[in-house]
Amino acid sequence: MYRLKELDNGFKYIELTNAVSSAKIALQGAHIYEYKRQNQEDILWLSENSSFEEGVAIRGGIPICWPRFGVLDKDMPAHGFSRTAIFSVKNVREIDSETTEVTLVLKDTPQSRKIWNYIFELEVVFIIGKTLKVTLTTYNRGEKEFMITEALHTYFNISDINNISISGLEKVEFIDTLCNEKRREFETISIDSECDRVYQGKSENIELRDTDRTIFIKAEGSNSTVVWNPWIEKGSKMNGIKEEGYKEFVCIESANAFDDKIFLKEGESYTLSASFKT
Instruction: Encode pLDDT of 223-273 as tens digits.
Output: 999 999 999 999 888 888 888 999 999 999 999 998 899 999 999 999 999
> Choosing from 123, 150, 248, 253, which is the catalytic residue?
253
Residue 84: pLDDT band by 50, 70, 90 thresholds? very high
Spatial distance between the Cα atoms of 116 and 82, rounded to a whole number of angstroms: 11
Burial of 110 per CB tally in 10 Å (0-12, 13-18, 19+): exposed
CATH code that applies to domain 2-277 = 2.70.98.10
Q: Collect all residues with Cβ–Cβ distance below 8 Å to 129 and sequence separation of at least 6.
A: 18, 20, 21, 95, 98, 99, 100
268 noted as active-site residue: no
Q: According to the model, what pLDDT value does residue 204 have? A: 78
> Choosing from 31, 123, 150, 153, which is the catalytic residue?
153
Average pLDDT over residues 137-152: 98
> How many CB atoms neighbour CB 192 within 10 A?
9
Q: Which among 142, 102, 138, 103 is positioned nearest to 122, based on CA atoms? A: 138
SS3 state at 130: coil
Burial of 194 per CB tally in 10 Å (0-12, 13-18, 19+): middle
Average pLDDT over residues 122-127: 98
Residue 71 has pLDDT above 90, yes or no: no
Q: Collect all residues with Cβ–Cβ distance below 8 Å to 139 and sequence separation of at least 6.
A: 120, 121, 122, 123, 264, 268, 269
31 noted as active-site residue: no
Residue 165 has pLDDT above 80, yes or no: yes
The full set of domain ranges for the chain reads 2-277
Q: According to the model, what pLDDT value does residue 257 have? A: 92
Q: Which among 227, 213, 75, 240 is positioned nearest to 151, based on CA atoms? A: 227
More confident residue, 51 or 82: 82
